[in-house]
Amino acid sequence: MSHQKPLSNKTAVVTGAGRGIGRAIAIGFAKAGADVAILARTQSELSQVAEAVTGQGVRCHVGPVDLADPEATEKACADVVASLGKVDILVNNAGVDLELGQVADSDPERWWRAIEINVRGTYLVTRFLLEHVNEGGKIINMSSGMGLRAAAQQSSYTVSKAGVHIFTECLANELWPRKIDVNNVIPGPVATDIFNREGRPERYTPEEVLEKFKDELPPGFPPQERIKHPDEVAELAVLIASQPVGGSTGQTFSLARRPF
């Protein structure tokens, strides 16, 4: 294995790859030598990411899909396999945070859509690709510290990430005989993710967010925390994906600067 290209000859699938953490991971994998399948809803964003991925001299499969649609998700996964073959790395990153407010005031449709995308979407992509994951493969699920403790005002997101967290542990228990490692990543606050929440018209680049809050965190953040660039999460994902067969499984890797 090349130290410069630790993922050479590997194939990776990244959901939610159109922007933010998913975009950074897809490009990070490409720089590490992997061919990459990128899945997300917005074709225009995927096209930009695909250009950055193929610019690293690797193959890229583009799959526009809404993970809340089971049939479309199954087809998107079949297309990945037809295009790139076996899967070595799967990153279930796609997620939304749609409901800010108390349960009593929530919109049932929006509340449940978060569960559909964050939990069922993660399950469906894993389910449809699992038979194609190579021995020694890595599955990385994007979790959250909010999935480890109760939180007011964001019940759908908290419930969904708790589901993802336990799903990871279930998979790890089932897949160790196939030598497939399954782990969670808790990014902590990341530039763009918490500021470009679904439904907000404003869009900030990571650099704009980091510049805005370089001296003072937004209200409500623990004083020891800091906002991270998506590339930092990508570096961790590359590290996990590069581990030898029989590495950590059923574990949570966190970039947050506080216990949960």
Question: From CA 125, how far away is CA 187, in angstroms rounded?
Answer: 21
User: Nearest 5°: phi and psi at 229?
Assistant: -80, 145
Across-strand partners of 135?
Answer: none
Q: Is-catalytic flag, 204?
A: no
Catalytic site residue from 123, 157, 167, 195: 157
User: Going by C-beta distance under 8 Å and a sequence separation of 6 or more, which residues neighbour residue 140?
Assistant: 89, 90, 91, 92, 182, 183, 184, 185, 237, 240, 241
Tokens encoding 68: 């809340």
Question: From CA 80, how far away is CA 61, in angstroms rounded?
Answer: 7
Question: From CA 8, how far away is CA 16, in angstroms rounded?
Answer: 23
Q: Tell me how far apart the 2 most distant CA atoms of the chain are, in Å.
A: 54
Nearest by Cα to 54 from 68, 34, 74, 73 = 34
Active site residues: 157
